[in-house]
Structure formats: C-alpha cells, structure tokens
Structure 1
Amino acid sequence: MTSLALIGPGRHGTAIATLFASHGADVVLYHHRLQKAEIAARTVRARANGAEVTVAPSLADAVAGQELVVLATLWDSAQRAVIAELGELLAGKILLDVSNPLDVTAAGIVPRTPVEGSAGQFVATLLPANTAQAKAFSNLATAFIGESADLTPPAVLPFAADSAETAERIRPYLERTGWLPWLVGDISVSRELEIGGRYNRVHGRWGRSRLDETEMHTRFGPQVLLPETTSTR
C-alpha cells in the first residue's frame, strides 16, 4: 500500500499520480513516449511528500513488484495494447481503470457508447484470468482530483470493484489519498462512474461530483456488499 504503478500519465493520470505521491505513496510512471513520462515525473515530484517518483523503461518494469496498477491511458486501442503486452504479468494484481469512453480526434473529443455498456465493462473483457479490477476517478474532472482531497468533512470517492476481496484490497490505497472511498457496486455499474453517469452529474457540499458522507448516504444509500470472490475470466 506504499507504492503503485501508473501507466499513461496524461493530464488525468498525472493528477492521480500526484494525489498518491502527495500522500506519501511511491509512484512508478510509464508512457510509451519516455519524454512524456519524464515531464509527468517532474510535475509529480514537485508535490511528492516523502515519496519516490520514478520512470520505468518498459511496461514490465513498471508493474514489477506492484500490487496496484493504475491504467490511465485513453480507452479502447491503447488499453488493448497495454493489457495485451502485459498479459500474465497482471495476474494477482489489481488493475484500477480510470477511463471514460472518449475518442480524441482531430475534430475534438467524441463520446462513444461501448457495446459492453461502459469503458469499465470493456476493460473487463480484456483482462487475463486472476487479475482483479476496480474503477474510480472517472467521474471527476481532472482539477478536482487534487483540490478536493483532505477536505473536512472528506469528499466521497465512489468506486467499483469486481468482488468484495478486490474492494478490500484497494480500499487502503484509496483511503490514503485524503478522499473517503465508497463502494457503489461491481464493474457492471461502471457507466454510473463515467462521464454523464449519476456520480458525475450529482452536486454536493463540495460541488459537482463531490459529496460528503451524509450526502452520499442520503442520495445513494449505504455502501454495497459484494460477493467475496473475483469472477473467473
């Protein structure tokens, strides 16, 4: 729970890496363009709180020894490529998907509707057996990730997981970020955690997408109980 790998440090991914590093977690960054990873690392190091921020030369090096792998690439083809290259190296790890079903084109950002129902459910079809999956941060604007940590009372971070076991494995990572993690369901509810979903549209004490514990319980009920074991893929 003191380190993680983050693959794809664009704006959103860099904000997530900074959130963890600013709360003392070591972060290993990987981008297929080394220069982009180095630029992101400088940004993260500037906010790191006693944490080590390194750049990995390969995907395999990035995930080696890590329990948590944050996949922060664009969705679809980039996710396919990363997960296919890592393959069985993901076995036993938790993959935290933070994506939204958006295509970046010359004409701008274009929303898509995955046939699986959501970007999170799409990712589930790609993962090798014995890889745990969680979903979080997709409902948040990039600027909210850091600025809404460590509030009093804390802002709620809704997340999904493929089982109770996965939820309890990832919960300590999320707790150390200064947010209050709140399990809202399994991966089938990913759509509600993505742009346009109810956890993205809702307004609370701290603004859009950011409720306190009382507001979360009033609007959406208590945290969800999931089956213990991750389903076999």
Structure 2
Amino acid sequence: MASIALIGPGRHGTAIAQLFASHGVDVHLYHHREPKAQTAAAQVRAVAKNAEVRIAHDLAAAVEGQELVVLTTLWDKPQREVIAQLGDKLTGKVLLDVSNPLDVTPAGIIPRPPVEGSAGQFLASILPAGVGHAKAFSNLATAFINESADMEPRAVLPFVADSADTERVVRDYLELTGWQPWLVGGISESKHVEIGGKYNAVHGRYGRSRLDAKEMLEYSGPEDSLTGVESGRTGRHG
C-alpha cells in the first residue's frame, strides 16, 4: 500500500491529499494547528477509497517511514521552519514542493519574485544534502486538482525533479492519481510550473493549464530526461 506524508494542508494541500487518498494512497497529515489538521482529515476521509488518513501530532511522526513528503505550506518562512525542524529526518526521502512565490498579507495575496528565480529554486537553496526534490501541482488552480483527474485521455501533470532517481520515485506516485505525469526539466525549470509560467497560462483540452498528451507534445516537445544526473539524495542539483 502506497503512502505519503503531507505537511501543511490548507486548501491546495487538502485537495492534493484528497487526490491521493481517493486513488488508494494512505495519507499522513500534519498541520501545526491541530484543528486545521482535523478539518483537513475529515475532508480527505470523505473521498478516500481503500486508503487510511491519519493525523500526525508532530513533524517527525508525519515523515517517519515515508518515502515521499509533500510540502504544501506557503513558501519561504514556513518552508524554512519545517525544514529546520525536520533536519536530517528528511535524509533519503523525496520532497514534493507545490509552492508558488506568493505572500498572503492583510492586503491580499501578493506576488514576490524570488531572488533565486523561482519558488522551487529558493527551496532547493535551503534543502539539506541527501534530500530528493521535485515540484508539481503549482500550475493548477485548487479546483482543477481533483476535477481533472481520471480524464480520458488523461490530463497531463507537468513536474520537475532534481535527478533521475527523484523522477522515478515521484512519477510512480503521480501515476496513481489519474493524471499523466510529464517531466519538463530539472529544478532550474521550476518557474515554468509555477503561477504565471508556461504550464500555468496555457489552455488545452480540459481548460487552462490542462493539456492532454498530444497537446503537450505539440506545445513543448517530448518529455525531458534526467538520465545521468546524480541523485538529489546525495546532494542538491538544479
């Protein structure tokens, strides 16, 4: 039975947890505010199919025994805090990042361009060595995550990864969700799968940011290859 840890289930994170649980993947949820974790768990359990949904009471328990950790907090400070708290407990795991370079302020949601070039590249700059790094779901509106799963033909889910090893792990999980994963490059290409990027702004068979495989091939060419790139779990790579 496949399982994942998901940290920080807000609206987007809860939708991703629902996607996995509705396709038979066990989900271990953690939120630093337990009432939010309870709310998210109830929403995920409502759609789960042959999957367990559990609440972890601390970060270490959430990631223990998990190969894939999905980080769905806001970017920058919350990510720094999670990574600092987990430290070497992330070693040997793959972190799937879904962040966008957006700040939530009293005045609303405000874009903040990262110095590194993208939210994905920012996260890469603070990840400890020995942690695989991939990015997906940032290009999708929250409503699209479950709405467009299990289409025929499948909708394409673009993702980036830091190595061929990371790519294989992430692809195996994404293929369970009713989407067709499509590698579009290394972490240096993160901006293209973030808000405003080429895979967010494009319109396809199923609407904005959702192409089928034929459309994807015409739009951006065949899938990328990271063959020969050293594993992100022995060091960071872009």
**Aligned counterpart, 1:113:** 113
CA distance in structure 1 between the aligned counterparts of 2:207 and 2:105, rounded to whole angstroms: 30
**TM-score in terms of structure 2 length:** 0.97
Cα deviation code 1:135-170 (max 9, x no counterpart) = 000000000000000000000000000011110111
What is the aligned partner in structure 1 of residue 46 from structure 2?
46
Helix, strand or coil for the counterpart of 2:110? strand
Report the residue type matching 1:230 in the other structure: S
Matches within 5 A, 1:1-233: 2-226=2-226, 227-231=228-232, 232-233=235-236
> Is the partner of 2:168 in helix, strand or coil?
helix
CA distance in structure 2 between the aligned counterparts of 1:141 and 1:14, rounded to whole angstroms: 13
Distance in 2 (CA, whole Å) between partners of 1:218 and 1:101 is 28
Distance in 2, Cα, partners of 1:230 & 1:100: 24
AA matched with 2:211? L
Deviates more, 1:9-18 or 1:161-170: 161-170
Gaps of 5+ in 2: none
SS at structure 2 position matched to 1:176: helix
Given residue 84 of structure 1, which amino acid in structure 2 is its aligned partner? A
Q: How many residues align?
A: 233
Whichever residue aligns with residue 114 of structure 1, its letter is P
Distance across 1 between alignment mates of 2:110 and 2:170 = 31
Identity between Structure 1 and Structure 2 (%): 68
Residues 88-133 of structure 1, C-alpha deviation per residue, up to 9 Å, x if partnerless?
A: 0000000000000000000000001000000000000111111000
Deviation at 1:21, TM superposition (A): 0.0
What SS class does the counterpart of residue 218 from structure 1 fall into?
A: helix
Query: Moved runs in structure 1, 4+ residues, more than 6 A?
Result: none
- Aligned-partner SS, 1:87: helix
- The Cα of 1:10 is off from its aligned counterpart by 0.1
Structure 2 CA distance, aligned partners of 1:7 and 1:208? 27
Q: CA deviation at 1:199?
A: 0.2
How far did residue 229 of structure 1 move?
Answer: 1.6
Give the residue type in structure 2 aligned to 1:228.
V
Deviation of the 1:228 alpha carbon:
3.5
Return 5+ residue gaps in structure 1 as ranges: none
Q: CA deviation at 1:230?
A: 2.5
TM-score (ref. length: structure 1): 0.99
Q: Distance in 2 between matches of 1:11 and 1:97?
A: 15
Indicate the SS of the match to 2:9. coil
